[in-house]
Amino acid sequence: MIARLACAAVIAACTLPPAPATAQCRMASIGAGCATAPIRRVSPPDPGPPPVDIGEILDRGRYSMLMNAGYYGLPLPQDGWVYFRIERDIYRVDYRTMEVLERATAEAARNWP
């Protein structure tokens, strides 16, 4: 069985038409033309000002608390502070006072959305 498959592969390879020497893409070998487009480099948009400032007091229930800090590579919450997701950033917040302590987005792992 394996010998038949090997034989069929050799026959198929020998009967295929040779690719043109000037082919620049896979489609050129079957007679279709190729088109190339210039590479356009796009810089990321300016993130603008942060959504909240350090020291700001958050309204309770307005933002989502980040419950699975270990999954995102963040240190586990301690001493009364927790993580909140505010837009696309992570902030360390004192849970009792809801005061923003610091921005922690840079500490997150690559799997942070």
Q: Residues in the chain with pLDDT < 70? A: 1-35, 42-47
Give the E-state strand segments of the chain in sequence order: 64-66, 81-86, 89-94, 100-103
Q: Structure pTM?
A: 0.58
Token representation of residue 105: 């987005």
Beta strands at 81-86 and 89-94: parallel, antiparallel or unpaired? antiparallel
Q: Which residue has the tokens 């923003």?
A: 100
Model pLDDT, residue 57 = 96
Q: How far apart are CA 63 and CA 81, in angstroms?
A: 15
Helix (H) or strand (E) holding 103: strand 100-103
Beta bridge mates, 100: 93
Nearby residues of 48 by Cβ (< 8 Å), 6 or more positions away:
none
Residues in the chain: 113
